[in-house]
Structure 1
Amino acid sequence: MLIDRFGRAIEYLRLSVTDRCDLRCNYCLPKGFKHFEEPDNWLTFDEIERVVAVFARLGTRRVRLTGGEPLLRRDLPALAARLSALPGLQDLSLTTNGTQLQRHAAALRAAGVSRINLSLDSLRRDCVEQITGSDSLPKVLEGLAAAKAAGFSPIKINMVAMRDVNDADIEAMAAFCVEQGLILRLIEAMPMGETGRSAHYLDLQPVLERLSRRFDLVEQARELGGGPARYWSSRDGVFSLGVITPISQHFCATCNRVRLSVDGTLYLCLGQEEKMELRPLLRAGIDDAGLEAAIREAIELKPERHEFREQPKKLVRFMSMTGG
């Protein structure tokens, strides 16, 4: 197993397959940004498979495909099939904005992707357009329907909750998730670069208290997916809620994940700058033993915690550069 200096087992890899996206969510990508990574610098499928195989041999059991928008990477289902077949990997999941999901849902399911998280910050068409810069809600809902038809379960809705933007939509989203049999995950906006710092941060603790009263929620001891969310379920079993609170109640003591960006940079913490660049090693011909040693060395760099609250202006890197 990969164990860091603080005794945390690293068993979850978030893998960005592209830094590009067809939406421009105002908490993620700077307005007018065009400086995306050159495709020549993207890890190839062979390189990705090799890195993930080493992680799996070292005890990583979960991999999540992210972006940018991962479904913009050509032939992604083929990569998913290669990864899902790796010995030791138990869970392959995907986070998507849903705009391309109608075309790819069935192929992803057949390739071995077991779970999908869909980013959706409102059910109001004008609010979605305000946040994403695109009139994308109809496409996203079509993608959601395709994912359900393909048999994905559970499907989680990721909603970044923002004060005076979509906070009034939270109850409507909860009711929608009950109706559709979905899990709602509320996420606090993080100060990742200027885009994240300009987001309208909303403390989710009062929201959780309000939803707990309305839906008679009970906290669940068992995690649902191995990530940072804490989960509650209604006593009647019709509603499940996850809350990701990096600011109001951080989860660093139990952090079990690292992120690999599209250019092969291994980021050890979402809110810190510790990293290791794997692409130069791969293209210089490093063998598997050397790659394993490099990954172990990188894990030793993983910091104890982020400093989003203490130093909100510290991080210049924004979310799409890191990988969602």
Structure 2
Amino acid sequence: MSTKAPLVDPFARAIQYLRVSVTDRCDFRCTYCMAEHMTFLPKKDLLSLEELDRLCTAFIGLGVEKLRITGGEPLVRKGILTFFQGMRRHLDSGALKELTLTTNGSQLAKFAAPLAEAGVRRVNVSLDTLDDAKFATITRWGRLSQVLAGIDAARAAGLAIKINVVALKGFNEDELVPITEWCAREGHDLTFIEVMPMGEMSEEARLDQYWPLRDLRARLAEVFTLTDLPDRTGGPARYVRIEETGQRIGFITPLTHNFCE
């Protein structure tokens, strides 16, 4: 338990959730996320794994109870497993309640079992399509079969899985229901995310791909019965339950208000 004054935001709410990016590097080059020939930070400019451990430990001492590790693709960081193994001491002490990971899934077949041993219980996997050709197009360098094998390995290791889908108009609109039904069959939670202003796309191209989640939700409601949920997990998502499947579906809308205004 923290012995120092906890972190609070300007509205006097305790800050208990922290996201930490351990690398800007990734083994995919998703078109909406980064340039194909990306220039990354020099390694000397990154915090070492030891420094990341000290930083996270300090935040945990200030009351952070949920830690999410992100990238880039965090599992391409050399030696990253030692960082997770180091964080295990905070889980064992009870100071840290949850250690999670957001990943593209490409390295999960290799890392799922040792991550589970280190105390990770949930992973978020970014997956925008279940079509091999479309997956290769959107990621440039990725293989869908590799990601699906990673998801299978994560499930075999006992990890809960949430699928994150970036909603892209004209790209994966036709997969809205199939992806939802696939997640229901596989037992995965699902979150839809509006496309963010990153990568090398022109503003015109980005607007062409922008698919507001209010429209996506309306389309889901034509097929399924949606019930709003009060759940908040510390992140920005708002949730509904699909009554026909019992699934919890999240919606992250970073741009909706800006576009509406």
Alignment TM-score, normalising by the size of structure 2: 0.89
Shift in Å, 1:196: 8.4
User: Partners of 1:9 and 1:142 in 2: how far apart?
Assistant: 38
Shift in Å, 1:239: 2.0
Alignment of 1:57 with 2:61, yes or no, is: yes
Once the two structures are superposed, what CA deviation does each residue of 1:136-192 show, in whole Å capped at 9, x if it has no partner? 100000000000000012x11000011111121111100110110111110001223
Shift in Å, 1:84: 3.1
> 8 Å contact 1:232–1:240 — kept in the other structure?
yes
Q: Quickly say closer, same or farther: Cα 1:8–1:309, change in 2 above 3 A.
A: farther
Q: Choose which of 43, 64, 77 in structure 1 pairs with 2:81.
A: 77
Partner secondary structure for residue 28 of structure 2: coil
Equivalent residue number for residue 3 of structure 2: none
Equivalent residue number for residue 106 of structure 1: 113
Shift in Å, 1:212: 2.9
Equivalent residue number for residue 39 of structure 1: 43
Gapped regions of structure 2 (runs ≥ 5): 1-5
Equivalent residue number for residue 24 of structure 1: 29
Alignment of 1:206 with 2:215, yes or no, is: yes
Once the two structures are superposed, what CA deviation does each residue of 1:210-256 show, in whole Å capped at 9, x if it has no partner? 21342212111123x4211111112355322111011225xxxxxxx
Q: Quickly say closer, same or farther: Cα 1:23–1:207, change in 2 above 3 A.
A: same
User: Partners of 2:202 and 2:97 in 1: how far apart?
Assistant: 32
> 8 Å contact 1:27–1:196 — kept in the other structure?
no
User: Partners of 1:17 and 1:27 in 2: how far apart?
Assistant: 21
Partner secondary structure for residue 231 of structure 1: strand
Q: Quickly say closer, same or farther: Cα 1:310–1:234, change in 2 above 3 A.
A: closer
Alignment of 1:233 with 2:238, yes or no, is: no
Number of paired residues? 250
User: Partners of 2:179 and 2:64 in 1: how far apart?
Assistant: 33
Q: Quickly say closer, same or farther: Cα 1:196–1:117, change in 2 above 3 A.
A: farther
Shift in Å, 1:63: 0.9
Gapped regions of structure 1 (runs ≥ 5): 250-307, 312-324
Shift in Å, 1:76: 1.8
Alignment of structure 1 residues 71-220 onto 2, 5 Å: 71-86=75-90, 88-153=95-160, 155-192=161-198, 194-195=200-201, 197=203, 198-199=205-206, 200-220=209-229
User: Partners of 2:125 and 2:234 in 1: how far apart?
Assistant: 17
Alignment TM-score, normalising by the size of structure 1: 0.73
> 8 Å contact 2:34–2:199 — kept in the other structure?
no
Once the two structures are superposed, what CA deviation does each residue of 1:256-284 show, in whole Å capped at 9, x if it has no partner? xxxxxxxxxxxxxxxxxxxxxxxxxxxxx
- Seq. identity, %: 40
Partner secondary structure for residue 19 of structure 2: strand
User: Partners of 1:140 and 1:228 in 2: how far apart?
Assistant: 25
> 8 Å contact 1:183–1:239 — kept in the other structure?
yes
User: Partners of 1:131 and 1:196 in 2: how far apart?
Assistant: 15
- What value does the CA root-mean-square deviation take over the aligned residues? 2.0
* Structure 1 stretches of at least 4 aligned residues deviating more than 4 Å after TM superposition: 193-198, 308-311
Once the two structures are superposed, what CA deviation does each residue of 1:81-119 show, in whole Å capped at 9, x if it has no partner? 212322522111000101111011000010111210000
Q: Quickly say closer, same or farther: Cα 1:126–1:68, change in 2 above 3 A.
A: same
Higher relative contact order (CA 8 A, sep 6+): 1
Shift in Å, 1:10: 2.4
User: Partners of 1:45 and 1:134 in 2: how far apart?
Assistant: 27
Shift in Å, 1:209: 2.1
Q: Choose which of 7, 16, 19 in structure 1 pairs with 2:12.
A: 7
